[in-house]
Structure 1
Amino acid sequence: MDFLLEYPPVLLALFAGLFTWFVTALGASLVFFFKEINIKVLNAMLGFAAGVMIAASFWSLLAPAIEMAEGSPLPAYVIVSLGFLGGGFFLWLVDRLLPHVHPGTNHREGIKTSWQRSVLLVLAITFHNIPEGLAVGVAFGGLASGSPAMTLAGAVSLALGIGLQNFPEGAAVSIPLRRENMSRRKAFLIGQFSGMVEPVAAVIGAAAVVFIAPMLPFALAFAAGAMIYVVAEELIPEARLGHEGDIATIGVMFGFTLMMILDVALG
């Protein structure tokens, strides 16, 4: 795997973002085979995705951020806390301003608009996936810093983890849309779009930390805060719809464990 270090970090981030998009499209392609998805399976899938994101936020983002911030003029906890809260605040602000509607609901959020529901769905999906792409980009961009806390194995494990949780996410978006009598093709396109934004966000995140290396601890914590915001605001509430909350919780536990194993074993 060391041969990958011959490539620029921004290019590696692009490859990783394309990988996570591809896995999302694979998950969304299930809509061509199924019109319905059992609520227990859907909740378990969303819970699994939440568990992966929670684990990735700590093992791949916050822990390296704390280690790298140790030598800064400010206490490490100040830099990491500001970054973490900044990521959450950014997503909260976007959530309040961006017009969107979540799959399975007709409740419109953000600034009022007359845009069609399908457009608002795409905006919601885009909003949801920006933190994942950003996290992958920051992890690969951090390789340019030369810090022992940022390793190629750790960045790859993060990309693998995000990819794994993107498969059920793609299906969890496209299949419910098909159940609403949307065509298979349109449901697939919207579902895979949930990963399309990730290569773009990955390149932006990588480029930012490559050219402004001192901001890396803050950027890592920022990405972690944004991911946790998505988990708390979207994934876990959606995973507990209906009366199958225990299934979602089990999914969270398995997702967290798998991501922890990936990060510790590879990183």
Structure 2
Amino acid sequence: MARLCLIAAGQGADADPAAVDETVLGELLGAGVQIPGSPFEGMEVAEARALLDGDSGPELMLDAMLRLGPYGLSLAELREHPHGIDLGPLEPRLKEVLGTESGLVRLAPAELGGEIGRLNERLAAPAPPMVLIGRRQLRSNNSWLHNIPSLTGGSNRCTLHIHPDDVARLGLDTHARIVSATGDLVVPVEPVDRIMPGVVSLPHGWGHAGSAQRTASLHPGVNANALTDDSVTDALSGNAVFNGAPVTVAPAPAPAGTDETAAPQRVPLPVVTA
């Protein structure tokens, strides 16, 4: 990681990674020599650096942080006690770190309390026919692995998770059309009993139609963002709302010229021998 940082900084692949460690140590000790009561208080950074013990940059950083910590330990002391050091019973610190004007934990800050009325209005409103949520995929990692042949297929497919009861109620077959206030998509149906009735789920990171990535473009999937409205934001954080979008779901024929329900063939990785 240090070498990559140096390459990104324009110093080339031959730069010494230890330079990054020394930079981090310098910043750490630069702050440490100014902390009242610190074991390095009033020292020059080079003087404090000379006191550290360790065979690598990470060990030196660990030693510095232990020395600057509340117990004044060192890496050498930890090595002398491989089974641990008893630092005594835990001590309460809540009053020390709690920054509210009242000195109490605010279980209902005014900002949240003001939202209760709006929440009650939302709960009292008629429920939408269906709501759409996103999902992550273990073998997908956003869109990063969609162009790797050995990772296509299996659970790494763009399908609509929907409860079997909803499949029967809506008369769905292999594909469904999902319509929201901002767009509509046709996607393969995958009934799963792990999802709540009335809720459907699309994975994010798909929509590779027209991509220059050969494997990804063969199994493009659909872009779930087409169904979300980026003008609808959370009142407190300002984040766009990407979950719980109202949608309707209806049967749809498979898109012409595609077989999205079939699992893609895997291409085996080359065997490397010593």
Which range, TM-score by smaller chain? under 0.3
- TM-score, normalised on structure 1? 0.28
Higher RCO (CA < 8 A, seq sep 6+): 1
Q: Which has the higher strand share?
A: 2
Larger Rg: 2
Tell me which protein shows more helix as a share of its residues: 1
> TM-score, length-normalised on structure 2?
0.27
